[in-house]
Amino acid sequence: MKVLAISAHPDDLELLCAGTLVKFKKQGAEVFTCHVCDGNKGSKVYSSEELVKIRRKEALESVKLIVAT
């Protein structure tokens, strides 16, 4: 089985369905993730460029925890 999880924002998958993705992975599924936006908005502290780098790094780290590709 192959599972593709698509979210609008980089942290949506982690907040909404990480447990489900882990469950599928443990059942032997290939799990793939896709974020539609790069997450460059929503901070008064970081520039858009800095925020994209931070959110990309966080997304890659969370994917490792979920064991997705």
Total domain count, the chain: 1
Q: Inform me whether the pLDDT recorded for 4 exceeds 90.
A: yes
pLDDT tens digits, 18-68: 999 999 999 999 999 999 999 999 889 999 999 999 999 999 998 888 875
Structural domain boundaries enclosing 60 = 2-66
User: Among candidates 12, 38, 13, 7, which has minimal Cα distance to 25?
Assistant: 13
C-alpha span between 7 and 31 (Å, rounded) = 14
C-alpha span between 3 and 33 (Å, rounded) = 8
Confidence (pLDDT) at 14: 87
pTM check: above 0.85: no
CA atoms within 13 A on the CB side of 22: 11
Q: Is 21 exposed, middle or buried (0-12, 13-18, 19+ CB in 10 A)?
A: buried
Q: Inform me whether the pLDDT recorded for 69 exceeds 60.
A: no
